[in-house]
Amino acid sequence: MINGKKIIENDINVQLLIKTKSECLNLESDLQANYLLSGDPGGSLYEIYTVNKDIITDLLVEIEEILIVETFSSFVLTNNSSRNSENKNNLKLPKLELPVFSGDLSAWLSFKEIFINAIDKNYELSETAKLSYLISSLKGDPAKLISGFSISDENYKQAWETLLNRYDDKKNLANSLLSKFINAKPTKPNNQKSILDLLDICNFAIRNLKSLKFQFNEFVNLILVFIAQEKLDESLRKQWELSLDSEKFPTYDDSVSFIEKHARSIRNANADHLTSRDCISRNIQSRDMNKYSAKKNTVVHNTVVNNSTRNKCILCSEYHLIYKCGIFNGYNLEQR
């Protein structure tokens, strides 16, 4: 009973970590999308965007470290294989919320990593349960690819291998990532959004290429730097050339650092511009209000004076309308 409780607790921990990681990835995607749609690429939102993105990245790294430990810890706490088999068949696991893979090669590595850690290496799941999770995590072409497999213990490994043979192709994955890197849109002059887009695409491609165990030697670095600098607009490229040490060839990390600094400088410049513009706007509004108040006071004063002058009686020199004058009212019709 105690062993069964520990098994459930361990499994729930893994599932919660997988769910949290998936939510963090979605949050990271939503954060970038909302920032790019904010219409304020150079404003104060950039600092909020970068801070939150760093927090999410750190959290993902921490989750991954814990997930590896939890996944590879021993789930088998029984004394013999028959009892272990009984636990497999009788243990009812909470529903797992896995990412769905639809055939996009750029999403394959992340999907494979999560599925292997959460399902494939979960020794408390039967092969039938693993196949059920696999089928529910696919749509589109990948789902069609294994649609002919009936759900049974003997079909899981074959279905998973079929999926690996189709999508876990190092050459195709590398080509897809390089295509993203090479076809990234160039930056626009003083446009922070285009700079951030370039950084995100390039960094995504490089991270995944490294996960495929490619060696980044000096020659590869030379090519990456060349491609990255070709994506810079003319003004930014000139600044990049001026920043280089004539005796040292720059690394890809150097180019990323330069582009990030330039993005921050645009953000700061735009923030200063907005502050200055706000001050000017407030000064103009204050000046206009002062003019309006002065004009209003002048109009009121002139109106009072003019009304007082107009209301002075021509008969008695008192300040009232003539029809209210006692002298006037004492006249007969002919005298009036």
Q: Is residue 221 part of a domain?
A: yes
More confident residue, 99 or 93: 99
Question: What confidence tens digit (pLDDT) does each residue in 144-164 have?
Answer: 999 889 888 999 999 999 999
Q: Is the pLDDT of residue 272 over 90?
A: no
Q: pTM value?
A: 0.49
User: Do 213 and 155 share a structural domain?
Assistant: no
Q: Are residues 32 and 68 both part of a single domain?
A: yes
**Residue 70 — very low, low, confident or very high, per pLDDT cuts 50/70/90?**
low
Per-residue tokens: 126: 């039967």
Tell me, yes or no, whether 136 and 205 share the same domain.
no
Is 143 domain-assigned? yes
Residues 143 and 57 in one domain: no
Together in a domain, 144 and 188: no
User: Given 274, 300, 324, which residue is the final one in a domain?
Assistant: 274
CA 155 to chain CA centroid, Å, is 39
Q: 325 in a domain, yes or no?
A: no
| Residue 180 or 44, more confident | 180
154 shares its domain with 131: yes
Q: Which amino acid is at 134?
A: L
Domain contains 69: yes
For residues 204 and 250, membership in a common domain is answered with yes
* Nearest to 206, CA basis, from 109, 77, 68: 109
In a domain, 202, yes or no: yes
Give whole-number Cα distances, 252 to 21, 206, 221, 223, in Å.
28, 10, 6, 9
Domain range enclosing 120? 105-167
For residue 99, what is the DSSP state?
Answer: P
Token code pair at residue 204: 């995504």
**Residues sharing a CB contact under 8 Å with residue 233, sequence separation 6 or more, in sequence order:** 186, 187, 188, 189
Whether the predicted pLDDT of 90 surpasses 50 = no
Same domain, 163 and 185: no
Where does a domain end: 274, 290, 316?
A: 274
Domain annotation covers residue 81: no
Same domain, 187 and 141: no
Domains held by the chain: number: 3
Assess whether 177 and 266 both reside in one domain: yes
Taking only the tens place, the pLDDT of each residue in 200-236 is 888 888 888 888 888 888 888 888 889 888 988 888 8
Of the residues 254, 274, 294, the one at which a domain ends? 274
Regarding whether 257 and 176 lie in a shared domain, the answer is yes
Instruction: Find the length of the chain.
Output: 336
**Can you tell me the mean pLDDT for 43-50?**
71
CB 67 within 8 A of CB 61: no
Give DSSP secondary structure letters for 249-294: PPPHHHHHHHHHHHHHHHHHHHHHHHHHHHHHHHHHHHHHHHHHHH
CB atoms < 10 A from the CB of 58, how many?
10
Same domain, 123 and 176: no
102-105 long-range Cβ contacts below 8 angstroms, 24+ apart:
102/138, 102/139, 102/140, 102/141, 102/142, 103/140, 103/141, 103/142, 103/167, 105/167, 105/172, 105/173, 105/176
* 194 contact partners, CB below 8 Å, separation of at least 6: 185, 186, 187, 188
Helix (H, G, I), strand (E, B) or coil at 72: coil
* Three-class DSSP category at 131: helix
pLDDT (average), residues 129-151: 91
The span from the CA of 283 to the CA of 288, in Å, is 8
In a domain, residue 279? The reply is no
Is 88 part of a structural domain of the chain? no
